[in-house]
Amino acid sequence: MKRFRYLPRNWPNFTWGRSEFIKYDAVFGIMVIFCLLFLAGCKDDDPEPITPVYQLTLIVDPPDGGIVTGAGEYKAGEMVEISADPLVSWDFEGWTGNTDFMDDTTVKQISFAMPQEHITLTANFNYFHCGDDITFTYRGEEVTYGTIERGGLCWLDRNLGADPMPFVPAEEATGNADPRLFGDLFQWGRLADGHQDRESDITDTLSKTDVPGHGDFITAESWPKDWRSPQNNDLWGGVDGANNPCPPGWRLPVSSELQIESQSWVTSNAAGAYASPLKWPVEGRRSNTGPVSVVGSAGYAWTSTVVENQSHAIGVSYSGLHAGMSASIRAGGKGVRCVRDVRK
C-alpha cells in the first residue's frame, strides 16, 4: 500500500509497507498516551474547595440618627469590627437583630467572629432634646440630671457630684454657697474613680499610666505638678477622650466655650456666676498638695483645653471680686460641668 499523500513533499521517496505503517501508528499512539498522562499529572488531584462567604447587613434606625461601618461579606470565623457613630443631638441606644453572638449589644464599637450564616444588625438611635432630663451611672449609682441650652451648647444643670437644683423647699437653699450644689473636685484628666471626693485619701506616688488604679488624690509638689508622669494632653479630649468623666455623648467644654459662658454673666464675679441659668456655685478647690480651700467664697471649673508643653490646663475662676479664665496646674482639684453639642 502506498501512502505518499500523508507525507511532506520533501520526505524521502520510498514506499511503506503495511507492517512499517502499523509500527509507526503504534509508536505515535504510545507517544500520545504518554503526553496525556504527563499533562494529567500536572493537574492538582484535589482542587481547592471554594470557601463560602456570608453577608453582614447593617441598618440605621432612624436613617438620620447616625453612621455605621463594617457591613460586607465575610468568611465564617473571620473577625468583624462594626461601629455606630451617632450624629449631633442623637444617642446610640444599642444593636438589635441577630445578636446572639455579641457579648454586649449596648456598645457602639464591637468585634465578633462572623457566624456561618447571613446576618442583619440594626443600630438604633434616639434623638436628644436639650431640656430633657438624662439618667446615667456616676460613681456606681444611677443619677438623673437636668439639661439647659446655653450659648449654643447643652449643659448639665449642675457640676458632677452635686445635688439637684432647685432645692425643695426653696427657702432652705443658701444660694451659691449651699454645699449641696458644690459637687466633686477633679484632678485634670482623671476618671471619676473616687479621687474627686473632697475627703479622698492622698498619695504622693505619681501615676505612670492614664488610670492609676486607685481612688486616691495624687499630690504633686514638684514641677510640672501633674498627677501623671509623663503628662498626657489628650485625656479629656472630647466625647471619646480616654478618661472623659462625663455621661456618654457628653464632654468637658473647651476654653472658648466656657469663656463665652462666663462673659455672659451680668456681673463678672461669683454673684454673676450664680445668676446664670447654670447656677455656678462657690465650691472651692483642692490644692496640688491635698487641702481643700476657699469653700463658699470662690468657684472653679475645668475645661479640656491645655497649655501645650506645660503643666497647665485652662479653667474659669470666680470669686466675690472678679471672674476670668486662667491656667492651673493639673494636680489641683476643680469642678466639672459637662456639655454636649446640639443640632443647629
pLDDT digits (tens, 9 = 90+) for 85-129: 999 999 999 999 999 888 899 999 999 999 999 999 999 999 999
**What pLDDT does 344 receive?**
74
For 289, residues 6+ apart whose C-beta sits below 8 A from its C-beta are 219, 221
CB-facing half-sphere around the CA of 147: CA atoms within 13 A:
22
Separation CA 187–CA 333 (nearest Å) = 5
Q: Which range, 173-182, 310-319, 335-344, has the best average confidence (pLDDT)?
A: 335-344
The answer to whether the CB of 273 falls within 8 A of the CB of 262 is: yes
- Mean pLDDT over the full length of the chain: 87
- Continuous H helices in the chain: 18-41, 255-263, 270-275
pLDDT of the residue at 164? 83
The pLDDT of residue 21 is 46
Do residues 326 and 285 touch, judged by C-beta distance below 8 A? no
Q: Which cell numbers hold the place of 57?
A: 447587613
- Tell me the per-residue pLDDT of 217-261, one tens digit each, with 9 for 90 and over: 999 999 999 999 999 999 999 999 999 999 999 999 999 999 999
Task: Indicate left, alpha or beta for 202 from its phi (over 0: left) and psi (-120 to 50: alpha).
Answer: beta
Question: Is residue 10 pLDDT above 70, yes or no?
Answer: no
| DSSP 3-state of 250 | coil
**Rounded average pLDDT over 124-147:** 95
**What pLDDT does residue 174 have?**
74
CA distances from 89 to 45, 66, 190 (A): 61, 10, 26
pLDDT classification of 171: cutoffs 50, 70, 90: low
Range picked from 43-47, 286-290, 314-318 for highest mean pLDDT: 286-290
Least confident of 18-32, 227-241, 272-286, 291-305: 18-32
Distance CA 134, CA 167 (A): 18
Alpha-carbon distances of 155 from 234, 338, 341, rounded to whole Å:
22, 6, 9
Adjacent-strand bridge partners of 122: 59, 96
Q: pLDDT value at position 1?
A: 46
158-170 residue pLDDT tens? 999 999 876 656 6
